[in-house]
């Protein structure tokens, strides 16, 4: 039976992969948390989807989904 990695092992694996030049894939929850952190910043209600996405390091579609889900829709 294969078990998931512990948090510590994920961190060590991420550091090892980063040093080897391999990108580390983020989970959906990590991406969502990044977008939510950007949306909590003062003045973020004026950010475009692409600005939010760039700041969070996600696609503009992910930024759109999270912004809509948390109710921070730009008028």
Tokens of 56: 């969070």
> How large a percentage of the chain has pLDDT more than 70?
68
Q: State the DSSP string of 50-63.
A: HHHHHHHTS-HHHH
Report how many domains make up the chain: 1
Stretch 35-63: mean pLDDT: 91
**Does residue 69 fall inside a structural domain?**
yes
Give me the domain span that covers residue 35.
Answer: 28-75
Decide if pLDDT at 10 tops 90: no
Stretch 7-26: mean pLDDT: 68
> How large a percentage of the chain has pLDDT more than 90?
40
| CA–CA gap between residue 29 and residue 18 (Å, rounded) | 20
- Segment (H or E) for 37: helix 28-39
**Does residue 35 fall inside a structural domain?**
yes
| CA–CA gap between residue 24 and residue 11 (Å, rounded) | 10
Q: Which pLDDT band holds residue 41 (cuts at 50, 70, 90)? A: confident
pLDDT at 1 (0 to 100): 41
**Does residue 51 fall inside a structural domain?**
yes
């Amino acid at each position: 039976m294969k078990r998931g990695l512990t948090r510590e092992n994920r961190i060590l694996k991420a550091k090892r992969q980063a040093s080897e030049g391999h990108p580390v894939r983020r989970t959906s929850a990590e991406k969502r948390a990044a977008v939510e952190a950007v949306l909590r910043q003062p003045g973020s209600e004026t950010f475009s989807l692409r600005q939010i996405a760039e700041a969070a390091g996600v696609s503009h579609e992910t930024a759109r989904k999270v912004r809509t889900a948390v109710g921070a829709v730009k008028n």
